[in-house]
């Protein structure tokens, strides 16, 4: 039975359309995962043998002090990135299978997760080389057992917590406040979390048998989860999607701008009502601060050619982020897009102006960087003009190359739906193209003319926007059947 369920699971993964359709994204993901694990191993080896070169304190005391922080960090990481694998069991609930077995399967399978490997990879070398070396193999092994037990306890705690969060809406806020409070108290030295951590984990070194508490708590949290899921396996309770009673956003003011405004209003609703596009929007807000990483740094004053890149990024991040999936966002109702009473030309016009307005807002916000010198405003202006004149149409054009379907109701973290070759291509022209005009003059020592040229070319593109939108519409008109078929079948 267990094996059959496992094989279904495997099939679900390998046959899912994203897996099959975008090999490139998967290679990239696999590569990223490998990198992460390699870093974890390297970090593990480093703290096992090289830690005393970096700090004055005794490495064992240092690590034991830090462990509690580490597990807090892991908890947060898991909280945002780890999925509760409940949906997968829904199709089995009506079959003549014992509920307990399905839940056991789900919980056991969930333990096969990169997050569980993380702590083990980081601390295994330390346990055997350092602690084993100082306290003997037995103690080292027990300390290791403690780490494993703690990692899996955190695993099941997060899972339980995430489920509970649906029942208690403010739990996250409460938890956040508690942690902020503890961190604050710790920071001002009123209580010392690190001492508490040391106290807990040092015990194990003195009394190795006490380490068994952690595998025990692993087992206990497992049982708690089991009890909860067995009693709550109703599809509507399993669903991680909360039913919304609040309808957000009206954007009535956009109606004044005619058809274009109407379409932009619709798109804004799309963005605000779904996690993934909303994340793209929030990212835009954060990246406005990107300049702070560059402008005040001494090192970058020497190589201020990089500021153009910063400007392109700051004023353009929204269309880079959101526009690369141009049509994919609307893949769920694409047939409607094609048949409704809106011409393709109007459709593209609305999208173009939405990106222009977003870039303009970002540019206006970036004016604050004038604090670091007037030059920065000029650079950002050139970047902004280049973005609206050249880069926006470019991104829109690239996004028309066999776009992939996106299911809007899925979350944002680790969601690579919609990613295809086009998405990997986008960064190059967007970031490199302005330099093609800027760099030659810069190298000749005439920085200002370079910037002027970049701005001018952008302005030209913007002045000819009607032609550009016509061209985009034409491309779309030629590709529409293929795109629609792609969205329909996946």
- Of residues 303-332, those binding another protein (CB under 8 A): 332
Pick the piece of the chain touching another protein (CB under 8 A) from 43-51, 215-223, 311-319, 341-349.
341-349
Question: In degrees, to the nearest 5, what angle opens at C-alpha 255 toward C-alphas 249 and 261?
Answer: 90
Nearest residue (CB) to another protein, 225 versus 331: 331
Applying CB under 8 A, the span of 76-84, 134-142, 264-272, 375-383 interacting with another protein comes to: 264-272
Helix (H) or strand (E) holding 78: helix 59-81
Q: What is the DSSP letter of 389?
A: I
Nearer to another protein, 15 or 242 (CB): 242
Site membership for another protein, residue 269 (CB under 8 A): yes
Report the b/e string of 350-384 with b at 16+ CB within 10 A.
bbbbbbbebbeebbeebeebeebeeebbbbbbbbb
Instruction: Verify binding: residue 273, another protein, rule CB under 8 A.
Output: yes
Residues that bind another protein (rule: CB under 8 A) add up to a total of: 32
Tell me whether residue 15 or residue 341 sits nearer to another protein (CB atom): 341
Coil vs helix vs strand at 335: helix
**Position among 6, 29, 338, 433 found at the interface with another protein (CB under 8 A):** 338
Determine which residue in the list 186, 262, 304, 470 makes contact with another protein, applying CB under 8 A.
Answer: 262
Residues 6+ apart with CB under 8 A from 78: 115, 154, 155, 158
Piece of 17-25, 82-90, 266-274, 364-372 that binds another protein (CB under 8 A): 266-274
- Give the nearer residue to another protein in terms of CB position, either 4 or 244: 244
Q: Which is nearer to another protein, 36 or 484 (CB)?
A: 484
Contacting residue, 343, 402, 446, 448, with another protein by CB under 8 A: 343
Q: How far apart are CA 203 and CA 269, in angstroms?
A: 55
Phi-psi bin for 113: left (phi > 0), alpha (psi -120 to 50), beta? beta
Q: According to the 3-state scheme, what is the secondary structure of 207-261?
A: CHHHHHHHHHHHHHHHHHHHHHHHHCCCHHHHCCCCCCCCCCCCCHHHHHHHHHH
112 binds another protein (CB under 8 A): no
Q: How far is the CB of 470 from another protein (least distance, A)?
A: 14
Q: How far apart are CA 147 and CA 153, in angstroms?
A: 10
Cα gap 5→101, rounded to integer Å: 10
At residue 322, the 3 state secondary structure works out as: coil
What does each C-alpha distance from 344 to 48, 314, 475 come to in angstroms?
Answer: 62, 30, 11
Q: Minimum distance between the CB of residue 177 and another protein, rounded to whole angstroms?
A: 30
410 binds another protein (CB under 8 A): no
Which of 325, 315, 313, 317 minimizes the C-alpha distance to 412?
325
Rounded Cα distance between 413 and 425, Å, is: 22
Q: Is 164 in the site for another protein (CB under 8 A)?
A: no
- Of residues 231 through 250, those in contact with another protein by CB under 8 A are 243-247
The total number of residues written for the chain in this structure: 490
Q: Which is nearer to another protein, 336 or 428 (CB)?
A: 336
Q: Which is nearer to another protein, 207 or 239 (CB)?
A: 239
255 counts as binding another protein under rule CB under 8 A: yes
Report in angstroms how near the CB of residue 213 gets to another protein at its nearest: 45
**What ranges in 303-444 are assigned the alpha helix state H?**
306-321, 334-339, 344-366, 374-386, 392-399, 421-425, 427-443
Give whichever of 15 and 246 is closer to another protein, judged by the CB atom.
246
> According to CB under 8 A, which one of 4, 339, 374, 445 is a site residue for another protein?
339
User: Considering the rule CB under 8 A, would residue 481 count as an interface residue with another protein?
Assistant: yes
Please select the residue that binds another protein; options are 2, 10, 336, 424, rule is CB under 8 A: 336
Least distance (Å) from another protein to the CB of residue 260? 12
State yes or no: residue 270 binds another protein (CB under 8 A): yes
- By C-alpha distance, which of 333, 397, 414, 481 is closest to 18? 414
13 binds another protein (CB under 8 A): no
The residue ranges that bind another protein (CB under 8 A) are: 243-247, 255, 259, 262, 266, 269-270, 273-274, 332-336, 338-344, 408-409, 481-482, 484-485, 488
């Amino acid at each position: 039975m267990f094996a059959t369920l496992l094989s279904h699971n495997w099939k679900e993964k390998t046959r899912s359309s994203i897996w099959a359709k975008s090999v490139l994204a998967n290679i990239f993901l696999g590569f990223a995962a490998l990198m992460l694990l390699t870093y974890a191993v390297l970090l593990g080896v480093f703290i096992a043998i090289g830690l005393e070169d970096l700090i004055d304190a005794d490495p064992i005391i240092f690590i034991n002090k830090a462990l509690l922080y580490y597990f807090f960090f892991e908890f947060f990481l898991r909280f945002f990135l780890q999925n509760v694998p409940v949906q997968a069991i829904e199709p089995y609930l009506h079959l003549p299978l014992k509920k307990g077995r399905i839940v056991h399967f789900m919980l056991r399978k969930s333990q096969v997760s990169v997050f569980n490997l993380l702590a083990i990879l980081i601390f295994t070398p330390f346990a055997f080389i350092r602690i084993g070396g100082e306290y003997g193999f037995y103690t080292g092994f027990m300390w290791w057992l403690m780490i494993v037990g703690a990692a899996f306890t955190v695993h099941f705690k997060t899972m339980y917590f995430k489920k509970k969060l649906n029942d208690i809406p403010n739990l996250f806020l409460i938890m956040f406040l508690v942690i902020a409070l503890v961190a604050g108290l710790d920071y001002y030295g009123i209580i010392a979390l690190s001492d508490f951590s040391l106290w807990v984990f040092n015990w194990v070194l003195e009394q190795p048998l006490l380490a068994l508490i952690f595998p025990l708590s692993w087992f206990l949290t497992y049982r708690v989860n089991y009890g909860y899921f067995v009693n709550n396996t109703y599809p509507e309770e399993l669903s991680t999607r909360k039913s919304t009673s609040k309808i957000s956003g009206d954007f009535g003011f956009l109606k004044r701008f005619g058809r274009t405004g109407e379409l932009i209003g619709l798109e804004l609703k799309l963005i605000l009502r779904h996690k993934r596009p909303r994340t793209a929007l929030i990212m835009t807000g954060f990246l406005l601060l990107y300049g702070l990483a560059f402008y005040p740094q001494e090192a970058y004053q020497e190589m201020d050619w990089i500021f153009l890149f910063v400007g392109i990024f700051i004023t353009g991040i929204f269309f880079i982020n959101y526009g690369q999936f141009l049509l994919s966002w609307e893949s769920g109702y694409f047939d409607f897009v094609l048949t409704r009473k809106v011409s393709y030309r109007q459709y593209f016009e609305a999208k173009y102006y939405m990106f222009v307005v977003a870039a303009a807002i970002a540019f206006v916000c970036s004016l604050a960087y004038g604090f670091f010198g007037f030059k920065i405003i000029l650079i950002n202006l050139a970047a902004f003009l280049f973005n609206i004149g050249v880069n926006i149409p470019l991104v829109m054009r690239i996004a028309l190359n066999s776009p992939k379907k996106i299911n809007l109701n899925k979350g944002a973290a680790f969601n690579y739906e919609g990613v295809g070759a086009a998405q990997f291509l986008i960064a190059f022209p967007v970031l490199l193209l302005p330099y093609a005009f800027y760099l030659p003059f810069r190298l000749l020592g005439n920085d200002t003319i370079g910037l002027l040229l970049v701005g001018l070319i952008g302005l030209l593109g913007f002045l000819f926007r009607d032609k550009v939108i016509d061209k985009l519409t034409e491309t779309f008109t030629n590709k529409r059947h293929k795109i629609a078929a792609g969205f329909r079948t996946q």
